[in-house]
Structure 1
Amino acid sequence: MQKIFYNIFTSLYPFIASLISPFNPKARKWVQGRKGLLQQIEEKLAGNTSKTVWVHCASLGEFEQGRPLIEDLKKVDSSCKIVLTFFSPSGYEVQKKYVYADYIFYLPMDSASNAKKFYDIVNPSLILFVKYEFWYHYLLQARQRNIPLLLVSGIFRKSQPFFKSYGGFHRKMLGAFTHFFVQNDESIELLKSIQITNASLSGDTRFDRVLQIAGNFTDIPDLKDFASNHTVIVAGSTWTEDDEELDHYSHIHTDYRFIIAPHDISEERIRECETLYKHAVRYSTYQQLLQGKVPLQEINTIIIDNIGMLSRLYKYATICYVGGGFGGDGVHNVLEAAVYNKPVVFGPVYDKYFEAVELVEKGGAFTVDDALELEQQLDELLGDGATYKNACKNAGDYVHEKSGATGNIMQYIYAKRLLTN
């Protein structure tokens, strides 16, 4: 019965996406990206006889977790072909030209026929699913074809259907995995509770990724100049609720500099930020300021209206604010900020993200419940040199201590000879 409901859901999903696509840009890209998709995949992979590794990510965040592994796989065997798939447009649209993947596609919607045809075309020797993507027919094909399938940077919670009395169908999906590389001990114990023992604690590859980014840092000259010799608050991945908590602080501290990178950079959202931050200019028009067309003294805030800069922006911060803790599904990636040895502040919704929880426990991050607490926390960090210095050290130390997941997974791949024909 659960399989029937699953198949109904996966067949209705494209239909619903098509209905809302005229009004929803993300749904529109999702639908357009899947038109004639299997034919495109077949045409592009025609004649490929090399070993192929299929890496699947839900979206951009999961791609950042899979990226260190993709690049290490290419270093080990440059002749192998990487097929990278995304479920969401927010991943595909940003990374569709990623140079370390040989082929990049949307994932065809899960069905028995789509999965069979996809495997017939791609013929992967090894499959990596990142974090939490579980598609029944794709997993079933991997099992039936005896293809090694790894879950990397996985994380499990008691609330998931795998661990419920009605979760037999979902537990069957887990049986397709050759090995689970998970982020925490709780995930190991939960898997053991349903008799799954082919799992190991590897940590999260995001730690390796943010260290890689920091190690390859390149300046953004305009923003470096903007931040120079000022106290700087960088607020990344903000939602409306985050900006409503922070905007007053920017108004009363006109001598500080603020760099705001909204999670959504639609025109409507950027205009909203311009309304909230009264001394602001968009980054795309910042050149006017440098040319003297906008008086410098009137500007203390830059609103980032592009994608791809955030992981470097935190370098310029005195203190980092990470959005999502007041709006959205919870706080966004705190590691991108902590890796630069900077204190991190965020809203109250963060308990689902173990790295945020641990960073608070380590003293490298601070959580606030409202605008008043936010202002008090920022003032405390900026007003007490010892507190600030300790928070910086705690943040950076935490990221370094938790690195190494990529090496753990690659060692398994070597040991099991999963890259050999």
Structure 2
Amino acid sequence: YEGADIICYMPVDTRLNAIRFLRLVRPVMAFFIKYEFWSNFLHILKHRNIPTYSVSSIFREDQVFFKWYGRSYANVLKCFTRFFVQNEESKRLLESIGIKDVDVVGDTRFDRVLQIKQAAKHLPICEAFRSGVAGSDSAASSEKASHPDYKVFVAGSSWPPDEEIFIRFFNEHKDWRLLIAPHVIAEEHLKLILSLLKDKKVVRYTQTTPEEAAKADVLIIDCFGLLSSMYNYGDVAYIGGGFGVGIHNTLEAAVWNMPVIFGPNNKKFQEAQGLLKSGGGFEINTYEDFEGLMSSMMNDAAFLKQAGDKAGAFVASLSGATGKVLAKVKL
């Protein structure tokens, strides 16, 4: 990370660990992101009068801080100098327990994904997979110019319940290519994915070349670090986790102006709710939901483009939180 001198894990949140860590680091201010409420660290930072900020935090009425029996838990929130929250509801809840130093600025992740998009990696294998043509010489460039790109469905951070739905659909539909980046890349999970795919030429990212990828129907990303750049090569994104503990990062896909599909466990994710309201995100509960939605996107180019544009516009419209935080922090 540019600008960072030291990157490390924080030690377990015990009083002694917090004392030792802060004695070594000697911060002039501290920032905790979203759901990070480290009780011992926060109480010692407050005791030492070190300005401490909570950024992109978001609160719900059912959290323990706002229950009659949660007063002792709420004390940890009073260690912060200021909160920069995502929405008005969070501000209201904090004010209900006596915390007034609160600004509604939004989520800094919107700024971050726009930044990541600007720094996206060029992935020759993914490019060849999309275009159906490999190479950068003049002959290849000429062929690319005359060859329309394939439509690509990108599945990011997928789990088995997700894969059973979209792989079943694409086993029956040959026109689109399928790019899968599973959340777990253990061999056992990759073998499960391969067992679901029928009559497809499948290649794995770490074991293929642009020439082979250009001829493949399915490309499986079997390594880490490519997901945010990979979305650049897709037309529709599916974000996994919605049939389990909760969906993964939808913004990394939406920032590329593509519609985003996810499962039902998305209610606690404000960005997913925003995508749904904007018309750039779509919830599915069953295979039939997915089949109907994808059929519409495959057969209606205008609908596909409009949904993608709405997803991209949603991300752009909520950028700027970082600047609002920095404007309030006394550096």
Report the TM-score, using the length of structure 1 for normalisation. Answer: 0.72
Q: Does 1:308 align with 2:225?
A: yes
Aligned residue number for residue 268 of structure 1: 188
Aligned residue number for residue 336 of structure 1: 252
The separation in 2 between residues aligned to 1:133 and 1:277, in whole angstroms, is 40
Match of 2:71 among 168, 175, 179: 168
Match of 2:317 among 401, 405, 414: 401
The separation in 2 between residues aligned to 1:358 and 1:119, in whole angstroms, is 38
Aligned residue number for residue 91 of structure 1: none
SS in 2 for 1:265: coil
Aligned residue number for residue 112 of structure 1: 15
The separation in 2 between residues aligned to 1:161 and 1:190, in whole angstroms, is 12
SS in 2 for 1:195: coil
The separation in 1 between residues aligned to 2:196 and 2:54, in whole angstroms, is 42
Query: How far does residue 99 in structure 1 lie from its aligned partner after superposition?
Result: 4.7
Are the aligned partners of 2:120 and 2:228 in contact in 1 as well (CA < 8 Å)?
Answer: no
Query: How far does residue 196 in structure 1 lie from its aligned partner after superposition?
Result: 0.9
Q: Which amino acid aligns with 1:311?
A: S
The within-5 A match list for 1:136-215 is: 136-215=39-118
Per-residue CA deviations over 1:352-396 (Å, capped at 9, x if unaligned) read 001101111110111111112112101101211221221122111
The separation in 2 between residues aligned to 1:272 and 1:163, in whole angstroms, is 44
The separation in 2 between residues aligned to 1:308 and 1:371, in whole angstroms, is 29
Per-residue CA deviations over 1:122-175 (Å, capped at 9, x if unaligned) read 110010001111111101100100000000110111121101111122111011
Q: Which amino acid aligns with 2:32?
A: F
Q: Does 1:290 align with 2:186?
A: no
The within-5 A match list for 1:15-414 is: 98-228=1-131, 229-278=149-198, 279=200, 280-287=202-209, 290=211, 299-327=216-244, 329-413=245-329
SS in 2 for 1:224: helix
The separation in 1 between residues aligned to 2:4 and 2:314, in whole angstroms, is 30
Aligned length: 312
Are the aligned partners of 1:233 and 1:320 in contact in 2 as well (CA < 8 Å)?
Answer: yes
SS in 1 for 2:79: coil
The separation in 1 between residues aligned to 2:304 and 2:160, in whole angstroms, is 27
SS in 1 for 2:24: helix
The separation in 2 between residues aligned to 1:221 and 1:390, in whole angstroms, is 28
Are the aligned partners of 1:338 and 1:395 in contact in 2 as well (CA < 8 Å)?
Answer: yes
Are the aligned partners of 2:32 and 2:54 in contact in 1 as well (CA < 8 Å)?
Answer: yes
Higher mean Cα deviation, 266-275 or 308-317?
266-275
The separation in 2 between residues aligned to 1:399 and 1:133, in whole angstroms, is 24
Are the aligned partners of 2:107 and 2:321 in contact in 1 as well (CA < 8 Å)?
Answer: yes
Are the aligned partners of 1:274 and 1:281 in contact in 2 as well (CA < 8 Å)?
Answer: no
Are the aligned partners of 2:254 and 2:260 in contact in 1 as well (CA < 8 Å)?
Answer: yes
Per-residue CA deviations over 1:294-348 (Å, capped at 9, x if unaligned) read 9x75x31111111111111111111111111112x21111111111111111111
Aligned residue number for residue 143 of structure 2: none
CA gap of 1:126–1:108, structure 2 versus 1, over 3 A, is same
SS in 2 for 1:258: strand
SS in 1 for 2:311: helix
SS in 1 for 2:7: strand
Report the TM-score, using the length of structure 2 for normalisation. Answer: 0.91
Are the aligned partners of 1:239 and 1:324 in contact in 2 as well (CA < 8 Å)?
Answer: yes
The separation in 1 between residues aligned to 2:22 and 2:122, in whole angstroms, is 42
The separation in 2 between residues aligned to 1:348 and 1:355, in whole angstroms, is 14
Per-residue CA deviations over 1:64-94 (Å, capped at 9, x if unaligned) read xxxxxxxxxxxxxxxxxxxxxxxxxxxxxxx
Greater relative CO, 1 or 2 (CA 8 Å, sep 6+): 2
